[in-house]
Structure 1
Amino acid sequence: MVALIICEKPSVAKKIAEALGKPKKKSIYSVPYYELERDGKKILAASAVGHLFTLVEKKEGKFGEYPVFDIDWVPASIEEGKKYVENYIKALKKLSKEADEFYVATDWDIEGELIGYHALYYCCGKTNAKRMRFSSLTKKEIIKAYENPDTIDFGLVDAGDSRHKVDWYFGINVSRALMEAIRAVKRWKTMSTGRVQGPALAFLVDRELEIKKFVPKPYWVISALLDNLNAIHEKEKFWDEKEANHVYEKIKDIKEGIVVGVKKRKKKIKPNPPFDLGTLQREAHSIYKFSPKKTQDIAQRLYERGIVSYPRSSSQKLPKDRKYLEDVLSIIKNHPNYGKYAERILNENLKPIEGKKDDPAHPAIHIVDIPKEKLPEEEEKIYDLIARRTLAAFWDDAEREYCNVTIDIGGEKFKLNGSRTVKEGWHEIYHFTRFDEVELPPLKKNEKIKVEKINIERKETKPPKRYTVASIIKELEARKLGTKATRAEIIDKLISRGYVVEDGSLKVTDLGIAVIETLKKFCPEIIDEKMTRDLEEKLELIQNGKIKKDEVLNEAENKLKEILSKFKEKEKEIGKELVSKIDSTNKKLKTIGKCKCGGDLVIIRTKNSRFVGCTNYPECNVTYSLPKKGRIKVLNETCESCGLPVIGIDGQKLCINPECPSKMPKENIEDLKESISNGEKTCPKCGGKLVVKNGIYGAFLGCENYPKCKYTEKIKKEVEVVGKCPKCGGDLVKRRGKYGEFIGCSNYPKCKYIEKIKK
C-alpha cells in the first residue's frame, strides 16, 4: 500500500513527513519529496508550489480584444518566471502512478482547497482523496489530521474556481478596456483594475476629493499655563472670535486660580483579544511600519516553520480545547522570555479572553512552539508580537486612574486631565499598546494655584484624515470587500500602478482620481461596491452548496458585456482624459523640489543607477546620488538644516545632501577623521585603511580601496546618558522626536517614561 500526500509547499511537505515518521529525502525532476513508512504503509510526501495552474484564454484573439470569457485552467509554467512549475507537475504525475491512496494536505481555506484539488485532478487524474485538515504544523496536529482525515470540500473548490474566474473576467476585461482607450489616442500605458481594486480605489478617491474640497473653519482655544501644566478652557473651542477675545481680556492678567473640583476614577482595561490577520497587519504597521503584504508573508513563513498557527484567519478566539492549550503552554514554558507567563497560566488555570470575530476553519493566530534556531530580525518581531498577544489574552486586567481637575480663573472654568497606570496587568506582557502617562500633582479642592500665563490661539479645523495602509485593511473588512488573504495584495497593486502614493498615508494621485472619475462618468457599475458585495455573497453561497457556480459566472459575464459595450462607444473620450492625468501624475512622482538655479530637481533612473538631477541640465549640472535599493517617496519637504529636499526611503526621511550638517556636525567628522588616521583602523575584508566618507545616510566608514573593495561600516553615534529612569531604573537618554529633543528611557518600548528638557 502506497499513500501520496499532496502538500502546498516543499517546506510543508518536509514538516509533515518528519511528523509522520523518519523520512528519506529524495528528488525527481530536481523536485524534492520525502519517503517514509508508517504502520506498514509506504508514504510519499510531495508538494505543489502554490497554484500549479492558471487561467488563460482558450483561443488567443486579436491584441487588446475585449470582452473575453472563454477561459481554461492550464499549467502556470506558461507565465513569465514560472518555468519551474513544470517540474512539480511532472513530479506529482510520476509519483501518483505508484500510489494507491491519496491525501490532500494543503492549507485549509478556499485557495488551499483549490490548489490541492487541481494537483489531485490535473496531475494525479483523481477526483477525490482523503483530506488532512490542521491549523498548525505541530507534530501532534499533523498526526491527528492524518489519522482522522476528512473529505475534499467541493463547495470550497467551486467557490475558489468561481472567485478566480470572476476576478479574471473583471481584471482582464476592464484593464484591457482602459488600455485600449489610451491606445485610441496613440499612447500606451499598462493599466489595471479589478472587481475589488476598483471599489477600493473609489472610496480612497472620495476621501481625497473630500480633503481637496475641504474649507477650514477658524476657532480659538484659550489655555492657562499653571506651573508647567497646561489647562484648557472648559469650552475647548470658541467658534466666535468676539466671545473668545472677551473671555481672554477678562482673565489675561489674573495670576491665581482656585481648584473647584477634583474627580478621580479607576478603570479596568481588559486584554486585547488574540490576533486575526487584519488586526495583526494593522498592529505590525503601527509598530514596525511593515506593509500588510509583508506582515502576511512573514506570518506565513512562521506558520511553515511550525511555530505559529495558520495566519489567514478571521477569528479572535483561541481553540476551545483546553488540553491543546495546555500542551502549547507546556512548550512555551521553556522559552527564556515568555516561560514565566506560560507557567503562571498553567499553575493558576487562567482562561483566555475572546474577541467577537470567528472563523469556521481556524482559531485566532497564536504561538504553538519555540523557534529551533535564531529567527531573522523581521520574523522575530512578528513572532514576538503574536507570542505576547497570545499570552496577554490569559492575563489580568490592567488598571488605570483618570483624574479630572476643574480650576476657576476669574470666573472661567479650566480643565486639567491626567491619567496613569496603577496596575500593569496584561500590559506587562503586551507592552505595545500605548497608554498616555500624564501625572498631575496631588491637587485638592479649594487649593490655590499659580497662573503663569493665559494664552489665546487661533486654530483651524482639519480635513478628514487619509487612510493608511493599516486603516484601509479595516475599511475593506468593514465594507466586505475582498478576503482576508487578498486585501494586502489589493493595496500593493494600487500603489504599484501609480494610483496611490504611500507616504505615511495613502494619497491618491491625479491618475488614480482620473481612473475613478472616468469610470464613474462612463461605467459606474464597475466601481459599484454593492455589485462587488453581491458577488462576494454569492461566492459564499456556492461555498455552502446553496447556489450553482455556473449561475454566478453567467450573471457576471452578462453584467460585464453590458457595461463594456457602453465603454467601447466612448473609447477616445475616455483615452484623452486618462492621458492628461497620466502626464501630470508622472511629473509629480518625479519632482522632489527646487534647484538653486530655479529648475526642478527630479529623480532620474538609468539602467544601473538612480540620482537626483536638475531639469535645466546641461546649463545646470547639479546632481545628488541616491541609494540603488529602497522604495523612494516624494515628500515635498525641505531640510531644516540645509534647505535641500527631503525624500523618503523605505519609511526613513533623508535629506539628499550628503554634506548636510544634520547628518553629523562638521567638527565631529574632523575629530573622527583624526582619530581614525591616528588609530589606523583597517578594513577587515582586504586590510586597507578605513576612511570617513559621506553619503545620503550621512557619514560612514568605507575602505580606501573602493570600488575594488566595497566594505562599509556604520559610525556609532554616542548616546548622552543624563540620569536614571524613576520608573524602571534604566538609563535616561536624550532623544529626538517629532517635536524636538526630549529625555526618554533606554528601555523603550517596555518603559515609556519621558520628560521634557528644561530650558
Structure 2
Amino acid sequence: MRVVLCEKPSQGKDIAKALGAHQREAGCYGGPGIKVTWGIGHLIEAAPPEVYDEQYRRWALETLPILPQHWQWVVKTQTAVQFKVVRQLLAQATELVIATDADREGEMIARELIEYCGYRGPIQRLWLSALNDASIRKALGALKASHETLPLYHCALARSRADWLIGMNLSRLFTLLGRQAGYEGVLSVGRVQTPTLKLVVDRDREIARFVSLPFWAIDVTLAHAGRSFTANWIPPDGCTDDTGRCLQQPVAQQAADRMRAAGAAQVISVDTERVREGPPLPFDLGTLQEVCSKQLGLDVQETLDIAQSLYETHKATTYPRSDSGYLPESMLADVPAVLEAVLATDPGVRPLIDQLDRTQRSRAWNDGKVTAHHGIIPTLEPATLSTMSEKELAVYRLIRAHYLAQFLPFHEFDRTEARIACGGQSLRAIGKQIVVTGWRQALAAPAPSEDDGEDTQCSQVLPALQANIPCQVRHVALKALKTLPPKPYTQGELVKAMKGIAKLVTDPRLRQKLKETTGIGTEATRANIISGLLARGYLLRKGRAVRASDTAMTLIDAVPPAIADPGTTAIWEQALDMIEAGQMGLDTFVEKQSAWVAQLVQQYRGATLAIRLPQGPHCPLCGAPTRQRSGKTGAFWSCSRYPDCKGTLPISPAKTRRASSGKAGAERTPSRRSH
C-alpha cells in the first residue's frame, strides 16, 4: 500500500483529492491502494530532560549540564490519536511519499516519524510550492528520490539538538541564578532569540544615551515665471557636522538675513538626470512582514498566519515561508495561466491586466537566485475574494501587485537639481517629474525605493530653469531643529534587522555566511521568536514599537557573549552546510555543541546576577507588592505572598484590571521552535 504523509490535514485533503483518494477515514483519506494521512505539525517532539533521568524534573544547579547520550522522542499527548493512525499506516505501507512542507522543518516532521516508527520501505519526496490542484498534479509527476532531501533532515536534526542543549541548560542555569538574585520568572536563553533580544536592548540603550543637538536649516521659497518652488540652504564649511547640518545659529541667522535683504536669486546651474526604476521583486516572507507591518500595521505573526491562510485555505497564493523573492525561469510558461486566474478572481483588475506585457522578463526570473522556495505569487487557479477577511484581502492584493508589476514598464522620472545663489549664499532645489508611471500603477500606494533616498522624498516639480536666469525671493524660513534619536524597532523592522544582522558581525567570513543564510532565524521561525519574546515579557509593545524590558537588559548583560553574538549562528550554519554536503557527521556536530555547553555551564555556575527586579503594581487582593512571573500564557504580575495569596494582574495595563486566582504558571522548558 502506498502512503502519502502530509504535514497538516488541509494539505492531506488537497493532495488526496488530486490522487483520487476520496474516502474519508479516521485520520486519513483512502483510495484504491493508497492512504493519505498527516501530522498536525510535529506529532512527536524531543524528550524533555526528566525522560532521561527523573532527577532533572527539579531545576537545580548541581544537575547541570544535561547532555543526552542517546536522544529520545516522546509522543505529544495532544495529538496522540493522530500519531496512532500514522504509526498504523506506516506499519502497513509498502511505499511512502513524504508530502510535508518543502523545507528543513517539513523534512524533519516526516523523517522523525519514519525513524521513530521504524519504517524501512522505499521513500519518495513530493516537493510543493502551491496547494492548488494543477500544482499538486505537476509535482506528483516529478517526485524526488529520498536521498535528494535526506540531508535537509540531518541539518534540521543537528540544529534542533544543539538548540535543545542551549535552551535546556542555559535557560535553567540563568533562571536559577536569577532566583538567587530574587527574580521569580524564567530567564529563557536561545541561539536565535537571545541575539534578537540584544538587537532591541542595544537600540533602546542607544535611544536612552542619545543627546539631542540643535541645528539650523533654511527653506527659501523662490518664484520664476509665476511658479513657486522651494530651495534649501547649503551651509558653508566650518559650521557643519558630518552630515552637513549647520550647528552655529549666528551663521544661519546671518545667512537668512542676507537672503531676505537680497530679494532676488540667480540660477547657477541646472542638471537633469533620467532615472529608471525596475519593479520590486515578488515577496519573500520577511519582506512581506516588513511591508505589512509598515503599511497595514500587522504584527509579524499575524502576517504569517494570513499568508498561511491564503496558501492553505484560499489556495490564492503560493507557499509563504520562502526566503527568496526570485522565480524559476521554468515558471515563465505559467504566466498566462496565473494572469487568467488573477483576472477570474477579480475582474476589476482587467484595465491593469490589459496593459501588461506578458512576454516581459524582469530580474525576478533568475534560476541562480532561487532557493528551495521561490517568491510568493498568485496561484494558477482562481480564488474567491468574498471568503477572505479584510486583512487577508489586503495582503493578497499586495502579493498580487508585486507579481503584476513584473510585466509593466520601468518607472521613469527626471530628477532635476538646480544650484542657486542668493545674497552670497548657496541654495539647492531638487525636483522630480514623472515621465512613465510604469509598474508603480500596480501598487496601491507608491513606496520609495531604497536607492532613491532624497529623490523620492522630493515631490515638487520645478519650473523651467536654466543657468543665469533670475528668481524672486518670496519667503525665507529659518528653522531651529534638533537631531532625533534612533527610532525604536517595530516588529517589521526587527524582522528586517534579523535578516540583515550580518552588518553587525566583524569577521568577514562569518559576515558573508550570514548574508548567504539571510541572517539569524528563518522565514518560518522569526515571527515565532518575536512572539515568544513578547509572551515572556522580554519585549513590550509600546504602540507599534517594541521595547526591551528591564529583565531583558539584565539577561543580555548576564549571558555569555557568544550566545548573544549573531556570529555564533554563522558558525553553526557553516557546520550545517558541511553536514548537508557530507563533510561532517551529525554526531560530531552534536558532540562539539555538548562540550561547548558544558564549558559555559561550568564557567557561569558561580556567577551572581545584578538583576533589576521589575516593579509591579500592588496585589489587587491583599495590597502586597507583586513580582513578575511566567506562565502558559506569558508573563504576568503575581502576588509576592503566593501561594498564601493568589492574586494576579496582566503585565500590560488594561482599562479594567480584574483580580484572578489560580496557581502561577509552572516552569516551562523552551521548545525547539522558540530557539
Q: Could you tell me which of 499, 503, 506 is aligned with 2:546?
A: 506
| Residue in structure 2 matched with residue 444 of structure 1 by the alignment | 465
| Residue in structure 2 matched with residue 204 of structure 1 by the alignment | 200
Give how far 1:551 is off: 0.9
| Residue in structure 2 matched with residue 324 of structure 1 by the alignment | 334
| Greater helix content | 2
In structure 2, give the amino acid aligned to 1:538.
A
What is the distance in 2 between the residues matched to 1:608 and 1:393?
Answer: 54
2:41 is the counterpart of 1:50: yes
| Residue in structure 1 matched with residue 451 of structure 2 by the alignment | none
Give how far 1:229 is off: 4.4
Distance 1:145 1:434, change over 3 A: closer
Distance 1:128 1:72, change over 3 A: farther
Cα pair 1:275 1:366 within 8 Å, conserved: yes
Cα pair 1:89 1:123 within 8 Å, conserved: no
Give how far 1:246 is off: 3.0
What is the distance in 1 between the residues matched to 2:495 and 2:606?
Answer: 36
| Residue in structure 2 matched with residue 489 of structure 1 by the alignment | 528
Residue-pair matches, total: 581
What is the distance in 1 between the residues matched to 2:12 and 2:447?
Answer: 41
| Residue in structure 2 matched with residue 746 of structure 1 by the alignment | none
2:386 is the counterpart of 1:386: no
User: Which of 274-283 and 328-337 deviates more?
Assistant: 328-337
2:180 is the counterpart of 1:192: no
In structure 2, give the amino acid aligned to 1:19.
A
Superposition map of 1:31-430 within 5 A? 31=27, 33-37=28-32, 42-55=33-46, 56-57=48-49, 58-62=52-56, 63-65=58-60, 66-70=64-68, 72-78=71-77, 83=78, 85-123=79-117, 125-126=119-120, 128-152=122-146, 153-226=149-222, 229-235=229-235, 237-305=245-313, 306-321=315-330, 322-335=332-345, 336-339=347-350, 341-342=352-353, 345=356, 348-354=358-364, 358-368=369-379, 369-372=381-384, 374-430=387-443
User: Which of 307-316 and 383-392 deviates more?
Assistant: 307-316
What is the distance in 1 between the residues matched to 2:308 and 2:22?
Answer: 24
Unaligned residue ranges in structure 1 (runs of 5+): 591-602, 614-622, 629-759
2:469 is the counterpart of 1:460: no
Deviations, residues 168-207 of structure 1 (Å, cap 9, x unaligned): 1111211111210122245411221201112222233233
Distance 1:246 1:269, change over 3 A: same
In structure 2, give the amino acid aligned to 1:370.
P
Give how far 1:23 is off: 1.1
In structure 2, give the amino acid aligned to 1:463.
P
Distance 1:22 1:561, change over 3 A: closer
Unaligned residue ranges in structure 2 (runs of 5+): 236-243, 449-456, 503-518, 621-635, 639-645, 660-675
In structure 1, give the amino acid aligned to 2:614.
D
What is the distance in 2 between the residues matched to 1:17 and 1:366?
Answer: 24
Give how far 1:375 is off: 1.2
| Greater strand content | 1
Distance 1:524 1:608, change over 3 A: closer
| Residue in structure 1 matched with residue 497 of structure 2 by the alignment | 475
What is the distance in 2 between the residues matched to 1:5 and 1:546?
Answer: 31
User: Which of 231-240 and 158-167 deviates more?
Assistant: 231-240
TM-score of the pair, normalised by structure 2: 0.79
Distance 1:563 1:408, change over 3 A: same
What is the distance in 2 between the residues matched to 1:183 and 1:465?
Answer: 34
3-state secondary structure, aligned to 2:369: coil
Give how far 1:112 is off: 0.6
What is the distance in 2 between the residues matched to 1:61 and 1:604?
Answer: 30
Cα pair 1:319 1:325 within 8 Å, conserved: no
In structure 2, give the amino acid aligned to 1:351.
R
Cα pair 2:95 2:122 within 8 Å, conserved: no
Distance 1:569 1:609, change over 3 A: closer
Distance 1:87 1:607, change over 3 A: farther
Distance 1:76 1:299, change over 3 A: farther
Distance 1:339 1:44, change over 3 A: farther
Cα pair 1:51 1:115 within 8 Å, conserved: yes
Give how far 1:98 is off: 4.0
Deviations, residues 100-126 of structure 1 (Å, cap 9, x unaligned): 322111111101111111233334634
Cα pair 2:128 2:135 within 8 Å, conserved: yes
Distance 1:101 1:604, change over 3 A: closer
Deviations, residues 30-53 of structure 1 (Å, cap 9, x unaligned): x3x21234xxxx221111100111
What is the distance in 1 between the residues matched to 2:499 and 2:265?
Answer: 50
User: Which of 365-374 and 175-184 deviates more?
Assistant: 365-374
Give how far 1:511 is off: 1.9
Cα pair 1:353 1:394 within 8 Å, conserved: no
Deviations, residues 598-655 of structure 1 (Å, cap 9, x unaligned): xxxxx99999998999xxxxxxxxx954899xxxxxxxxxxxxxxxxxxxxxxxxxxx
Distance 1:587 1:547, change over 3 A: farther
Distance 1:264 1:328, change over 3 A: same
| Residue in structure 1 matched with residue 5 of structure 2 by the alignment | 6
In structure 1, give the amino acid aligned to 2:532.
K
% identical aligned pairs: 25
TM-score of the pair, normalised by structure 1: 0.71
What is the distance in 2 between the residues matched to 1:566 and 1:611?
Answer: 33
3-state secondary structure, aligned to 1:61: helix
In structure 1, give the amino acid aligned to 2:203.
R
Cα pair 1:318 1:352 within 8 Å, conserved: no
What is the distance in 2 between the residues matched to 1:348 and 1:539?
Answer: 40
Give how far 1:488 is off: 2.0
Rg bigger for which structure? Answer: 1
3-state secondary structure, aligned to 2:170: helix
Deviations, residues 582-606 of structure 1 (Å, cap 9, x unaligned): 324x479x9xxxxxxxxxxxx9999
What is the distance in 1 between the residues matched to 2:561 and 2:580?
Answer: 29
2:579 is the counterpart of 1:545: no
What is the distance in 2 between the residues matched to 1:472 and 1:72?
Answer: 34
Give how far 1:10 is off: 0.3
In structure 2, give the amino acid aligned to 1:214.
F
What is the distance in 1 between the residues matched to 2:588 and 2:297?
Answer: 43
RCO comparison, higher one (Cα < 8 Å, 6+): 2
Cα pair 1:329 1:343 within 8 Å, conserved: no
